[in-house]
A and B are shown apart, each in its own frame.
Chain A
Amino acid sequence: MALKGRLEDFDITKLFNLVHLARKTGALTLERDGKKVTLYFKGGKLIYAIKDSEEKGILNLLFRAGKLSREQVREIEARSRLKSDKEKALIAISTGYLSKEDVLECLQRHFLEIVYELFTWQTGAFSFEPDVLPDGDKLTVSIDLANLILEGTRRQKEWEILQEEIPDLDMALKFTENPRTAIRNISLTVDEWRVISYINPQNTIRQIARYNSMSDYQIRKIVYGLLSAGLVELVPPAGAPKAPPPEIPPALQAPPKVSKGLVQRLIDRIKRL
């Protein structure tokens, strides 16, 4: 019988704890705002993850991770008849392009990214179907949940901070006019450069994330780093309709009408104190 519920009542940490401690085998599906993630567990360990029914494909993951070149991907695709990830990975390994460890590490990183994002889900529905496993042609890993829960919880806290710092992904970015640090003198990661290359008041942060296939968490983290370094600043996107003024009672919107003479009297008085 499926375990069903809502994350509002039983959060992701508790769910993982349950799977971990009860050494469960089966598929956990989580859904929120049209997004769907399915995680597969065997004996309490994470073995496979899929987001929005989107199979990234092992070759695509290896290419994005820089483990395979575009030509190598094309060659393996041409040689593979069954088109299963398992077969493609075996061809890649047997041709000596990479090792089995490279494949597993890449898959593991991909699955973990899917899982860590779930720690930012405060709401949504979940359902656990016992004894359901991924198809036999899928490449699986074995990830211990204890460390995953610890890291996820840490990210959850980080996420809360990032959300406060960058509450609106529909804002754009622009380079600061007088950056505190010259951009040439700092070391940026590949992902940071990918974001930098799209910085333009016409691109919202959400669009930049989409172009770069980054999650909300990833883009927020990078933008937060760039903001903290004083390299960029948040601006309303160019061409966007002006935001309606905040709903503030009229009495609060304008400063009191005072004369220069009155302010000068205040200054004189404070100086004499």
Chain B
Amino acid sequence: MQAVKIVVTGPFNSGKTQFIRTISEIEVVSTERKITDEFRSIKEQTTVAMDFGRITVDENLVLYLFGTPGQRRFDFMWDILSEGMLGFVVMVDSTSPQTFREARYILDIFRRYAKVPYVVAANKQDLPDAWSPEDLRIALRLNSNVKVIPCVATNKESVKRVLLELLYLVLEILEEG
């Protein structure tokens, strides 16, 4: 049985856990804990180690989705989680401009971990205050060749689109040789 891995990363409360939960065929193995600091007002629980989801392709291949903890004090986990990944998704809460700088920081760190394809998921596009993917591209100072995909992490089709865009990118790179 061969296993491949995609990492879902992004700032605190960007929707990583929900993203994996929406697409995973198993109950997401989540290690969420009660928050004990200033973020408590935003969210009751957060991921302290990782979320873990699975999509079985066939009897010989399985895709694992790993979510990283969003708070920077757990960033020592990031390089461990990124080991051997096929690519990664950077989730951004499009309604929360105060997290954009953190998203850019995380993106830079992951790019340094491994030269693998990545996409940016502009999450929470269903909410009224969401920044458009193009505005997010400017805010995050992303080149025009970086894919910024509108996303609603609670919607399966939307999550599928993000993963497919990432896989198309992987395929494109393989075809280029």
The chain A residues found within 8 Å of chain B, CB to CB, are 161, 164-165, 178, 180, 227-228, 230, 246, 248-249, 251-256, 258-260, 262-267, 269-271, 273
In the A-B complex, the 9 residue pairs with the closest CB atoms: A255-B116, A269-B57, A263-B171, A260-B174, A267-B167, A256-B84, A263-B170, A246-B112, A265-B57
By beta carbon, the residue of chain B nearest A256 is B84
Closest to A230 in B: B138
Segment from B28-36, B147-155, B156-164 that makes contact with A: B156-164
Known: A256-B4, A256-B5, A269-B57; 18 extra A-B contacts, CB below 8 A, are: A164-B101, A227-B141, A246-B112, A248-B79, A253-B115, A255-B85, A255-B114, A255-B116, A258-B170, A260-B171, A263-B174, A264-B171, A265-B61, A266-B57, A266-B61, A269-B58, A271-B160, A273-B156
Which of A246, A266, A267, A271 is most buried by chain B, counting CB atoms within 10 A of its CB? A266
Which A residue sits closest to B84, measured CB to CB?
A: A256
Contacts of B168 on A, CB cut-off 8 Å?
267
Q: Which residues of B contact A273 (CB under 8 A)?
A: 23, 55, 156, 160
Tell me the minimal C-beta distance from B52 to chain A in angstroms.
17
A–B Cβ pairs within 8 angstroms, 30 of them: A161-B101, A164-B101, A227-B141, A230-B138, A230-B141, A248-B112, A249-B79, A252-B82, A253-B114, A255-B85, A255-B86, A255-B114, A256-B84, A256-B85, A256-B86, A258-B4, A258-B86, A258-B170, A259-B174, A262-B4, A263-B170, A265-B57, A266-B61, A266-B167, A267-B164, A269-B57, A269-B58, A270-B160, A273-B156, A273-B160
Contact between A251 and B84, CB atoms less than 8 A apart:
yes
Chain A residues with Cβ below 8 Å from B58 are 265, 269
Q: Report if B27 contacts A (CB, 8 A).
A: no
User: A262 near B115 (CB under 8 angstroms)?
Assistant: no
Q: Which residue of B lies closest to A245 (CB)?
A: B112
Closest to A267 in B: B167
B residues apposed to A, CB below 8 Å: 2, 4-5, 23, 55-58, 61, 63, 79, 82-87, 101, 105, 112-116, 138, 141, 144, 156, 160, 163-164, 167-168, 170-171, 174-175
Q: CA A254 – CA B82 in complex, angstroms?
A: 11
- Quick one: closest B residue to A265, CB to CB? B57
Contact between A263 and B167, CB atoms less than 8 A apart: yes
Q: Determine if A269 and B55 form an interchain contact, defined as CB atoms under 8 angstroms apart.
A: yes
Cβ-defined contact, A262 with B167, below 8 A: no
- Interfacial chain B residues near A248, Cβ < 8 Å: 79, 112-114
- Chain B residues positioned under 8 Å from A230 (CB to CB): 138, 141
Given the known interface contacts A252-B79, A252-B113, A254-B114, the answer about A270 and B164 at a Cβ–Cβ threshold of 8 Å is yes
For the complex, give the distance between the alpha carbons of A178 and B82 in Å.
Answer: 33
Whether the pair A164, B79 counts as a contact (CB closer than 8 A) is no
Set of chain B residues within 8 Å of A164, measured between Cβ atoms: 101, 105
Assess the B164–A271 pair: CB atoms within 8 A. Answer: yes
Note all chain B residues with C-beta closer than 8 A to A178.
144
Tell me the smallest distance from the CB of A47 to a CB of chain B, in Å.
39
Tell me the smallest distance from the CB of B63 to a CB of chain A, in Å: 6
Assembly CA distance A267 to B171 (angstroms): 10
Measured CB to CB, the closest approach of chain A to B23, in angstroms, equals 7
**Are A262 and B2 within 8 A (Cβ)?**
yes
* Residues of chain A contacted by B57 (CB below 8 angstroms): 265-266, 269
In the bound complex, what is the Cα–Cα distance between A249 and B141 (angstroms)?
Answer: 28
Determine the residue in chain A with the shortest Cβ distance to B169: A263
Residue of A230, A253, A258, A264 with most chain B CB atoms under a 10 A cut-off: A258
A228 and B63 alpha carbons, distance in the complex (Å) = 38
* Interfacial chain B residues near A267, Cβ < 8 Å: 164, 167-168, 171
